[in-house]
């Protein structure tokens, strides 16, 4: 009986963690370094694949320059839909997808600090593994994430299982022992 309860609690914890990250990615705001693909069904000339630069502006057919940094995928789809509807198309079917997320960065007590391609489902431990693993002096409790939230940079105290997002800067401090 105890084993079943523990297993159920563990399963709930894992699914809550993946739901939280999925929810974070649904509200993910586009930023420099993201590679996007924009499709309008049946309109090949409106298909665009582009990597966002630091200024975050794309030149989209019929709409001109569009500043998309800070938008979610849904907001960008709606913006393009509204811009094309009426004058250009009756009811455009717009799809925006992220082909490649912007990188995240790991520094401190890992064997190969640097920038790495983001993949959904990453946490601190997995990010450290991508960076060659923890060094012998790495602290498992002094881990920080520098993240931009609503245009402001914040520092988050993290643990080894904290989910990460594209653009995060992870710092793993030294342990005293």
pLDDT digits (tens, 9 = 90+) for 80-93: 999 999 877 888 99
pLDDT in tens, 33-71: 899 999 999 999 999 999 998 898 999 998 999 999 889
CA atoms within 13 A on the CB side of 81: 13
Handedness of CA 124, 163, 104, 97 (dihedral sign): positive
Q: What is the pLDDT of residue 158?
A: 94
Q: Each residue of 41-50: pLDDT tens digit?
A: 999 999 999 9
Return the DSSP state at 44.
G
- Compute the average pLDDT of residues 166-176: 92
Give the right CATH number for 104-174 from 3.10.560.10, 3.30.70.1280, 3.40.50.2300, 3.40.30.10.
3.10.560.10
Question: What is the CATH topology of the domain spanning 35-100?
Answer: wza like fold (3.30.1950)
Residue 103 has pLDDT above 50, yes or no: yes
Whether 76 contacts 140, CB under 8 Å: no
Q: Exposed, middle or buried: residue 39 (CB in 10 Å: 0-12, 13-18, 19+)?
A: middle
Count of H-run helices and E-run strands, the chain: 3, 10
Q: Domain ranges in the chain?
A: 35-100, 104-174
- DSSP-derived 3-state class of residue 88: coil
Condensed to tens digits (0 to 9), the pLDDT of residues 2-23 reads 444 334 333 444 444 433 444 4
Q: 101 near 31, Cβ under 8 Å?
A: no
Considering the chain, what is the average pLDDT of its residues? 85
Q: What is the pLDDT of residue 109?
A: 94
**Amino acid 89: pLDDT:** 85
111-165 pLDDT, tens digit each:
999 999 998 899 999 999 999 999 999 998 899 999 988 778 899 999 989 999 9
3-state SS record for 96-148: EEEEECCCEEEEECECCCEEECCCCCCEHHHHHHHCCCECCCEEEEEEEEEEE
pTM reported for the whole predicted model: 0.72
CB of 36 closer than 8 Å to CB of 52:
yes
What pLDDT, on a 0 to 100 scale, did the predictor assign at position 149?
81
């Amino acid at each position: 009986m105890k084993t079943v309860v523990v297993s159920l609690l563990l399963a709930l914890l894992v699914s809550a963690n993946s739901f939280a990250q999925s929810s974070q990615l649904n509200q993910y705001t586009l930023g420099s370094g993201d590679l996007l693909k924009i499709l309008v069904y049946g309109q090949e000339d409106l298909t665009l694949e582009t990597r966002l630069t630091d200024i975050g502006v794309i030149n989209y057919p019929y709409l001109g320059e569009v500043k998309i940094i800070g938008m979610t995928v849904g907001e960008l789809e709606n913006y393009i839909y509204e811009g094309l509807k009426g004058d250009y198309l009756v009811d455009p079917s717009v799809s925006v997808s992220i082909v490649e997320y912007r990188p995240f960065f790991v520094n401190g007590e890992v064997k190969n600090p640097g920038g790495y391609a983001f993949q959904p489902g990453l946490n601190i431990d997995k990010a450290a593994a991508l960076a060659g693993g923890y060094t012998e002096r790495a602290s498992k409790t002094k881990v920080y994430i520098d993240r931009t939230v609503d245009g402001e940079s914040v520092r988050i105290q993290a643990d080894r299982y904290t989910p990460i997002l594209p653009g995060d800067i992870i710092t793993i401090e030294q342990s005293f022992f």
